[in-house]
Copies of this chain bind each other. A is one copy, B any other.
């Protein structure tokens, strides 16, 4: 394209990342650039990452939630907080526990969450859905057909995961875990579900 010929593909990618409010996948950048192969785009992104990896830069390119995004460096946080006069809100412990449970056990129903946590979770679940960290995946085909919950793409972004396979490994229950193998298998299954739902894009 003529107009964009003035600007290097690197510059265009930088501009795209700058204006996008969600991480951009390789595929989307490739589609916009038009004329560059996936491998080429991949190389350009690596170049851009390198260029940004300078000590006096205040912003960086990072890979998260199946895409690339620009963020400020952590060292700039105090300055930004002074500029804004506020710090970002954090999740409560109850919310974090519930979210961890959903992340590792998805798809999971409310009764299943209650069984592990030993407390009611309505309020917490509502908050998590409202903040879009948790989403409804469907219904479990059993009596009462309870709603199945899972994590969203926003969840990956929030914690800085590239995809669900990046979740930290759960500590195995030592002696009492005869079904540990089954646990791993279900983790895999979750990944497949996510891929099918388009939350995580397989590279």
Contact = CB atoms under 8 A, between A and B. Distances in A.
Interface string A179-197: 0000000100100110111
A76 B4 contact: yes
Contacts of A111: none
Interface string A58-98: 11000001100010111111111011101000000000000
Number of copies: 2
Contact of A12 (B4, B10, B79, B199): B79
Nearest to A155: B196
Interface residues of A, number: 83
A152 interface: yes
Nearest to A16: B83
Given A4-B78, A55-B8, A72 B15 contact: yes
A15 B80 contact: yes
